[in-house]
Each structure stands twice: as C-alpha cells, then as structure tokens.
C-alpha cells in the first residue's frame, strides 16, 4: 500500500519545475566523472531518505553533482556524505558510517534527511527562484514529519528555509534568530531548531568545521531528544 511518504518521493522524482537544474543533472549523468564511468547515474531529483516518523530531521542544501545526483540517495557518494554519516553513526543515528550507494545497507536510526533543493545545482548554488520552486516539497516534508522533535539545519540557506516555514506555522517569533554553528532555538511547540555548518569541502578543508565540532552538534541533538522524552 502506497504511503504519503512514497507519494511525496514520487512527486519529487518526477518534478520538472526547474529546467536549468534538470538540464544540469542530466548533463552530469551523461558525461560522468572518469572514476564513475561504469556507473549509471541517477540524474534527476533526489527524494528524502529515512523514516518519516523519525524524531531528528536533517535539512541540507542540495544534492552534489557526483554524489546524490549519481547515487540517488541524499548525501551519498561524496565527501560531505562521508562526514555526515560518520557523525550520524558516532551519535547512534545510523547503523554504519559508510555511504557509498543505495544498496550498501545503510539504515538511519530515528533520523531523516531532506534538502532545500532536490536537484544538483551548478556550482552548488541554486537560484532564489529554484529554492522557491522546491518549497512545496519542504512544506510537505514538515507536514508529514510531525514526529520530528529536533530539526537540524546544515548551513544558512537551510536555516533560512526552515525558519520561513516554522514562522508560517506560528512556531517562531520575529526577529529571526541568526544562523550560527551550534545555535539552538526552542519552538513554541517545545521542539528545537538547531544550526550547524554544512559539511561541505569548503568548510571541512579550510578547518571551519572540524569533526569534533560536528560531533558536538549531533551529541546536542541527542541530548535535546532525551530532554523531550516523556518521564
């Protein structure tokens, strides 16, 4: 029996709203990177990954051209994914630290991953219009993910997108809290919005984000979930 989560996934995969992004995804999938020449690229919008009933919702920016756009799974097959899944594993949110492809056995534990934009953008920079075009998918994800007690925004764009939706729901008040690594904002419902630097190479290679700092964010998410547990 098809669930609402299945329907949303199919809607994301079939989306045609952003011609520039679709053209880019398909072009990358045709030309490929030399080291992945023998692989069949996904080359289309990437759906959410994880359990819709999870208590931790992670929001990234967009799929990487030779990462999720190749593998078809969020944060899988690139350096950002290596950092994210290692941190999730160490914090107990996944069964393994490896994220290579959709059949590698990776299972999230009480966590789900989505993105502001579901197609890989050129230079990892979606336009304002493209972010707007994908907004319905974020809204639908939040509407379905009612069990999420902690929402983790990876990067400022994810923070801004989440804040906009939470503000529309009456969960936050003006002025908008400024994004920062490790920032925590309690929502009116008692849930939490947490910020972290994105594990992009721009942040990890320059030392702006260390593995220790990333681990501390997930440890904080774990503690917030414990504090919200009944009893």
pLDDT digits (tens, 9 = 90+) for 27-74: 999 999 999 999 999 999 999 999 999 999 999 999 999 999 999 999
Domain that holds residue 163: 4-228
Residue 67's pLDDT is: 98
Residue 133's pLDDT is: 98
CATH code, domain carrying 90: 3.40.470.10
What mean pLDDT is predicted for residues 93-107? 96
Alpha-carbon dihedral angle through residues 125, 127, 130, 132, given to the nearest 10 degrees: 120
Q: How many structural domains does the chain have?
A: 1
228 vs 21 pLDDT, higher one: 21
Q: Quickly count: other Cβ atoms within 10 Å of residue 183's Cβ.
A: 15
pLDDT tier, 229 (very low <50, low <70, confident <90, very high otherwise):
confident
Q: Quickly count: other Cβ atoms within 10 Å of residue 169's Cβ.
A: 14
pTM of this structure = 0.97
pLDDT digits (tens, 9 = 90+) for 170-199: 999 778 899 999 999 999 999 999 999 999
Residue 231's pLDDT is: 57
pLDDT digits (tens, 9 = 90+) for 120-178: 999 999 999 999 999 999 999 999 999 999 999 999 999 999 999 999 999 997 788 99
Radius of gyration for the chain, computed over Cα atoms and rounded to the nearest angstrom: 17
Q: Is the pLDDT of residue 209 over 70?
A: yes
Residue 175's pLDDT is: 85
β-pair partners for 112: 50, 57
22 vs 2 pLDDT, higher one: 22
Residue 96's pLDDT is: 97
Contact (Cβ atoms closer than 8 angstroms) between residue 52 and residue 144? yes
């Amino acid at each position: 029996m098809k669930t609402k989560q299945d329907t949303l996934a199919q809607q994301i995969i079939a989306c045609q709203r952003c011609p520039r992004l679709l053209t880019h995804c398909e072009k990358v999938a045709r030309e490929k990177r030399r080291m992945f020449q023998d692989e069949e690229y996904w080359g289309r919008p990437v759906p959410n990954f994880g359990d819709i009933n999870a208590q931790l919702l992670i929001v990234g920016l967009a799929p990487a051209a030779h990462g999720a756009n190749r593998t078809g799974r969020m944060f899988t097959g690139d350096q950002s994914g290596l950092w994210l899944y290692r941190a999730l594993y160490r914090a107990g949110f996944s069964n393994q630290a490896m994220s290579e492809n959709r059949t590698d056995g990776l299972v999230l534990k009480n966590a789900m991953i989505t993105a502001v934009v579901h197609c890989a953008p050129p230079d990892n920079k979606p336009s304002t219009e493209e972010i707007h075009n994908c907004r319905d998918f974020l809204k639908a994800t939040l509407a379905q993910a009612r069990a999420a007690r902690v929402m983790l925004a990876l990067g400022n764009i994810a923070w801004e997108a989440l804040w906009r939706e939470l503000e529309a729901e009456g969960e936050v008040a003006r002025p908008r809290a400024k994004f920062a690594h490790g920032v925590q904002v309690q929502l009116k419902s008692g849930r939490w919005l947490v910020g972290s630097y994105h594990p992009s190479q721009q942040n990890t290679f320059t030392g702006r984000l260390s593995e220790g700092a990333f681990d501390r964010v997930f440890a904080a998410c774990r503690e917030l979930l414990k504090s919200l547990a009944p009893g």
